[in-house]
Amino acid sequence: MGSGPEDGDASLEGLFLAESEANHARLLGGGLVFVAIEHWQPTGDPLLRLHAAATPVQIAARLGGWSGLWPQEIFAGNYILHTVGTEIVIYAAYPLFYRAAAAGRWWLLGGIAVALQLLALPLLGYVDPFVLFPGVLMMGLFWYLGALAAHLSQKKSFEVSGWWVGALWALFLALQQTPHFFGLNMIKQFIWGLVCMAVIVWLLGWEARHPTLRDRALVRGLRWTGDISYPLYAVHTPVILLVNWCLLTLGDVRSYGWQLMLNLVVPVLITLAVHYLIERRYYHPRKPA
């Protein structure tokens, strides 16, 4: 942190607001471009046609990043934009979340995350699960667990044993084999979130306990993967949309194999270009005083 709590609050809140603004810019710019391109050269793809034929209110919801809160959009099943809209809503809530976390109210935040999941239960019979599960009600828990993992990793007195990771993984596998009942998938989501959190805290603890292994190729590779993870997250959606538009419009390529290969390779190449040509050259985060 900075020289005091107020400095830390101000810098982190500014960072969170900047992330929200950056995601808005990404969604607005990419969305407007693809709507214009689809109007100019229709691909016949149902998903792209759905967005291009939207009403002004629907376009405002999607490009404004609040589609995750707009009932008409939730029920429409606009998976890609709904997911990005969810991310923007979560980023916008970062300052409030940080205030509660800085005050040590982790139990309160956890209760809110669980309550949001329970609120999603009544909607399961009415809303497409593929829309509901990446929504705010479900992703809030993963967001909370990720922040909690970062918090716990800073507490030297808290350690996650490899047995915890194994036990949670075994519980998740057992749930995979459990006969279906109402709410089972939500429980799976919760346990999977705990698995991810436990793995993160365990890995950070393992690295701290074995400083001499930090220069091993595997550890360096994991750190490098973490370095490029944010640009990959930031660019993959518009790049995938552009790749699919090019395949459907310029070459009428409908081969799943080609789509899968290019949607895996091209975003990674663009990610590397952004990381090495932009991030490492021009992005210099402010270091704590």
Question: What pLDDT does 195 receive?
Answer: 92
Beta strands in 155-259 (DSSP E): none
Q: What is the pLDDT of residue 266?
A: 93
Residue 161 in 3-state DSSP? Answer: coil
Confidence of residue 229 (pLDDT cuts 50, 70, 90): confident
Residue 150 has pLDDT above 90, yes or no: no
Residue bearing the bigger pLDDT, 265 or 213 = 265
Please say if the pLDDT value at position 215 is more than 50.
yes
Q: Which of 62, 94, 64 is nearest to 80 (CA)?
A: 62
Q: What is the pLDDT of residue 173?
A: 93
Which two tokens mark 173?
Answer: 């596998």
The amino acid sitting at 119 is L
Residue-wise pLDDT for 237-273, tens only, equals 778 878 887 887 777 777 778 888 988 999 999 999 9
Picking from 78, 77, 74, the residue whose alpha carbon sits closest to that of residue 31 is 78
Alpha-carbon dihedral sign for residues 50, 52, 53, 59: positive
By three-state DSSP, how is residue 133 classified?
coil
pLDDT of 169 higher than 90 = yes
161: alpha, beta or left? (left if phi > 0; alpha if psi -120 to 50): beta
| Token pair of 107 as six digits | 């139990």
> What integer pLDDT is reported at residue 2 of this predicted model?
35
Sequence-distant (6+) residues with CB within 8 A of 37 are 245
pLDDT band at 6 (very low <50, low <70, confident <90, very high): very low
Positive or negative: CA dihedral 216, 219, 271, 19: negative
More confident residue, 121 or 176: 176
Q: Please tell me the distance from the alpha carbon of residue 210 to that of residue 212, in angstroms, as a whole number.
A: 5
Highest mean pLDDT among 86-90, 155-159, 207-211 belongs to 207-211
* HSE (side-chain half, CA atoms, 13 Å) at 140: 21
Least confident of 10-14, 86-90, 94-98, 250-254: 10-14
- For 69-107, b/e burial (b = at least 16 CB within 10 A) is ebeebbebebeebbbbbbbbbbbbebbebbeebeeeeee
Determine the pLDDT at residue 8: 42
Contact between 1 and 7 (Cβ < 8 Å): yes
pLDDT in tens, 29-68: 666 666 677 767 776 666 666 666 667 766 666 655 555 5
Task: Tell me the per-residue pLDDT of 113-144, one tens digit each, with 9 for 90 and over.
Answer: 888 888 888 877 776 666 677 677 777 888 88
Lowest-pLDDT range of 59-73, 136-150, 185-199: 59-73
Whether the predicted pLDDT of 81 surpasses 80:
no
For residues 195 and 172, the answer to whether their CB atoms sit within 8 Å is yes
What value does the mean pLDDT take over residues 95-99? Answer: 81
d(CA 138, CA 129): 10
